[in-house]
Amino acid sequence: MNKPLRRVALAMMVMVVLLMGNATYVQVIKADELRDGPGNTRTLYDEYSRQRGQIIAGGQSLANSVETDDKLKYLRTYPEGPAFAPVTGYYSFVYGANGVERAQMNLLNGTDDSLAFDRLSDMITGEPPRGGDVELTINPAMQRVAYEQLTSKNFQGSVVALDPKTGAILAMANAPSYDPNRLASHLKSEALAGWNEASQAKGDPMLNRAVSEIYPPGSTFKLITTAAALQNGYNANSQVTDAPSITLPGTRTPLPNYGGNTCKGNTLTKALAHSCNTAFAEIAGKLGADKMRETASAFGFGQDLQVPMRAAKSDLGPMADAPSLYQSGIGQRDVRVTPLQNAMMVAAIANGGKLMKPELVRRTTAPDKSSISEMQPEELNQAVSPEVARTIRDMMLQSEQNTKGDGKISGVEIASKTGTAQHGDPDDKPHGWYVAFAPAEAPSIAVAVIVENGGDEGAEATGGSIAAPIGRAVIRAGLQGGG
């Protein structure tokens, strides 16, 4: 072969190699990314040609697909819309997916590996391909009550309820919320209007406050300080200060009790029952930052969680000096928690100190309703010993007796703690918290409630007055066995 022909042959070989390399890169390495990319309308049209699986809770359909006569064959619908939006999320031709719709995407749209046999069977029998179903742990009655309690008073906030023994999420409600039906519309103009309305509305309705927002926990954090104290030499009758105010060490800054009152007792039990700031600030100072962090970590602070939506991490902040340590001991300064984390904290106390991983998906099934996966309760940690958990429970029973607010349940003992968290609001409107579990002797429900910015009481609000009635109503709905 002469020299010019050799050059042509070599160039052609290089081009063939490059072509094969590019084809391999696109069809093998980048295939999943290109297929799942938001701009791949071919994949979306393919997905909408199949009947998407249902999202179910308590035997009720929270999300299903109905056949249409437009070019997108199936329309996603949400029968109870805003009340369940924080768990279902949305599924939109224009805006993609969120919540369980996103976390369980492949199962719902039928492309999950676990459904390979079903796809093959459908191909052979000529049946139209379908997605699998996702059954949630949500108790619909508790979810509705949580949402109605928040929205009926035009509150902004969140409610999370857990089964302490299994970690099953029984309720996850937010207010304000949004209607996923509007985002699911096949009319682009309607989906756009729904998206703009939800994303630009006051209070950020599309924010899943339960798992994505972190708040100062206020006095609910005293349960962590109490647990740290009991594990480090304190007991229920240990003497603590009852001073109406103390001065933060190395400063002239006073740290008073609520209302500047002397604490009604000088034991650890009385301090928690009356939520005395001065006592818990001094306890944190004596314990030190390391022991406070260790205890908080045992209850889940700093842990990376997916339920299956990813939850923001709760944190104590730097606690770089003694004043910040004192303030952290009462849940102020830089301490931040999600409502989910606060529910996990009381669930662990209710469960003899055993912290369970929160889970939202109870079961997944194939289109023929055969089971694919079942929730397996997972223990994350033994946060405190059963003895310490029982001691805190008994203290929380006394706290509930001192907590005002409506909705107390006759014949049911509730163990609880309130929190009233300052957060730099210019009008001094605090966030109100209520964390609780019931029945105290055999807990089946643990709940965390936050009402932002004083609810309807403004600067006069407390956790007991605005959040406790909501928590009790959700517990009542759960104990009545509503589905």
Crossing angle for the helix pair 289-298 and 277-287, to the nearest 10 degrees: 100
SS3 381: strand
According to DSSP, the residues that pair with 76 across neighbouring strands are: 65
Burial group, residue 275, by CB count within 10 angstroms (0-12, 13-18, 19+)? buried
Half-sphere exposure of 373 (CA within 13 A, CB side): 17
Total residue count of the chain as it appears in this document: 483
Residue whose pair of structure tokens reads 């996850």 in the numeric block: 172
Instruction: Please give the full DSSP string across 388-453, using - where no structure is assigned.
Output: HHHHHHHHHHHHHHT---S---TT---EEEEEEE----TT---EEEEEEEESTTS--EEEEEEEGG
Which residue in the list 65, 185, 219, 399 is annotated as catalytic?
219
User: Cα–Cα distance between 123 and 133 in angstroms, integer?
Assistant: 20
Q: Please, which residues have CB within 8 angstroms of residue 88's CB and are 6 or more apart in sequence?
A: 55, 62, 63, 78, 99, 100, 101, 180
Enumerate helices (H) and strands (E) in the chain, giving the number of each. Answer: 20, 19
Q: DSSP 3-state assignment of 164?
A: coil
DSSP SS3 for 59: coil
Per the annotation, the verdict on 219 as an active-site residue is: yes
Phi and psi at residue 318, in whole multiples of 5°? Answer: -70, -30
Q: Is 301 helix (H, G, I), strand (E, B) or coil?
A: coil
Give dist(CA 149, CA 142) in Å, integer: 10
What distance in Å separates the CA atoms of residue 271 and residue 281, rounded to the nearest whole number?
Answer: 11
Cβ-Cβ contacts under 8 Å for 17 (sequence gap 6 or more) = none
SS3 breakdown of the chain: % helix, strand, coil, rounded to 5?
45, 20, 40
Phi, psi of 160 (to 5 degrees): -130, 130
Catalytic residues: 219
